């Protein structure tokens, strides 16, 4: 089954075309890298798919449900790590993760408590779990937000630049978590500017440039199709028109 099916999706903000008739399908269980330069439309596409904004035209389905008609149903199975998002500063790390899961309402408190504790160990914040996140560093907050995004055991996870601002070890931990989730057949949509991360994690990638999906395929397919040595050269060629 398709986790995501998008057809001729268009989003205009006044004179800016953020999504220019995007058509794409992502299968269940895929780790899909959504790439593109700043302002290409990646976050906009994600926001349409989780129902935070409405497209100007076109069709978007998640697990075969239309985002305009069934968003509450979709949200039971989907979670998002937003690109720019803060923790609740007056809550501890544990509370940030646990209450977010509780708000979602799909797991028992007992399961949530266990998952929250497992995630705190995983992101390396054991010992700081009862501190207010107000006093956390930027990367520590980002780790809490990553944990929060997966605590309710979603089937489809949008991670909008999960490793941005996180140190080398933390980023490695997040990548490990993404691999574990992939092993559990979760569908993951990942945006990142780190192409090594893409090579390590993604089954397929889609490259957006000025709202247009200019390429889609496995990294290897794209290197062959655009006659480039690596994904970075493909990216540069497509986003600037330069030949590598």
Ligand X SMILES: Nc1ncnc2c1ncn2[C@@H]1O[C@H](COP(=O)(O)OP(=O)(O)OP(=O)(O)O)[C@@H](O)[C@H]1O
Give me the residues that bind ligand X (CB under 6 A), please: 13, 16, 18, 36, 38-44, 83
Q: Which is nearer to ligand X, 40 or 202 (CB)?
A: 40
User: How far lies 228's CA from each of 29, 233, 243, in Å?
Assistant: 28, 6, 8
- Closest residue to Mg ion in the complex (CB): 43
**Strand blocks (E) in 102-203:** 156-160, 187-191
Measure the CA angle with vertex 96, ends 181 and 100; round to 5°.
Answer: 65
User: How far lies 194's CA from each of 1, 48, 162, 163, 202, in Å?
Assistant: 29, 24, 11, 9, 12
The least distance separating ligand X from the CB of residue 46, rounded to whole angstroms, comes to 8
Q: Of residues 68-107, which lie at the interface with Mg ion (CB under 5 A)? A: 83
Nearest Cα neighbor of 142 from 202, 81, 100 is: 81
Handedness of CA 15, 46, 219, 201 (dihedral sign): positive
The least distance separating ligand X from the CB of residue 42, rounded to whole angstroms, comes to 3
Q: Does 2 bind Mg ion (CB under 5 A)?
A: no
Burial 172-205 (b: 16+ CB within 10 A, else e): ebbbebbeebbeeebbbbbbbebbebbeebbebb
The least distance separating ligand X from the CB of residue 35, rounded to whole angstroms, comes to 9
The least distance separating ligand X from the CB of residue 83, rounded to whole angstroms, comes to 6
Q: Does 44 bind Mg ion (CB under 5 A)?
A: no
Q: Which is nearer to ligand X, 40 or 93 (CB)?
A: 40
Instruction: From 42-50, 162-170, 194-202, 207-215, give the range in contact with Mg ion by CB under 5 A.
Output: 42-50
The least distance separating ligand X from the CB of residue 111, rounded to whole angstroms, comes to 33
Among 4, 9, 11, 43, binds Mg ion (CB under 5 A): 43
Q: Which is nearer to Mg ion, 43 or 96 (CB)?
A: 43
**Residue 149 CB neighbours (<10 A):** 23
Contact footprint for Mg ion (CB under 5 A): 42-43, 83
């Amino acid at each position: 089954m398709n986790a995501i099916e998008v057809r001729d999706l268009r989003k205009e903000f006044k004179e800016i075309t953020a999504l220019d008739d995007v058509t794409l399908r992502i299968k269940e269980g895929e780790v899909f890298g959504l790439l593109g330069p700043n302002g290409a439309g990646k976050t906009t596409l994600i926001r349409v798919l989780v129902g935070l904004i409405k497209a100007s035209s076109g069709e978007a389905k998640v697990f075969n449900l239309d985002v305009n008609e069934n968003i509450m149903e979709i949200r039971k199975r989907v979670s998002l790590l937003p690109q720019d998002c803060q923790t609740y500063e007056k809550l501890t790390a544990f509370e940030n993760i646990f209450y977010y899961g509780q708000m979602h309402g799909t797991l028992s408190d007992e399961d949530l408590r266990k998952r929250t504790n497992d995630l705190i160990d995983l992101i390396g914040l054991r010992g700081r779990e009862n501190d207010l996140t107000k006093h956390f560093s930027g990367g520590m907050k980002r780790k809490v937000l990553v944990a929060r995004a997966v605590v309710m055991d979603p089937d489809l996870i949008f991670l909008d630049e999960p490793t941005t601002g996180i140190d080398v070890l933390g980023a490695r931990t997040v990548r490990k978590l993404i691999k574990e989730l992939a092993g559990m057949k979760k569908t993951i949509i990942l945006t990142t500017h780190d192409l090594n991360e893409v090579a390590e994690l993604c089954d397929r990638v889609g490259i957006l440039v000025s709202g247009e999906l200019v390429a889609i395929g496995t990294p290897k397919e794209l290197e062959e199709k655009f006659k480039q040595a690596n994904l970075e050269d493909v990216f540069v060629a497509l986003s600037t028109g330069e030949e590598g």
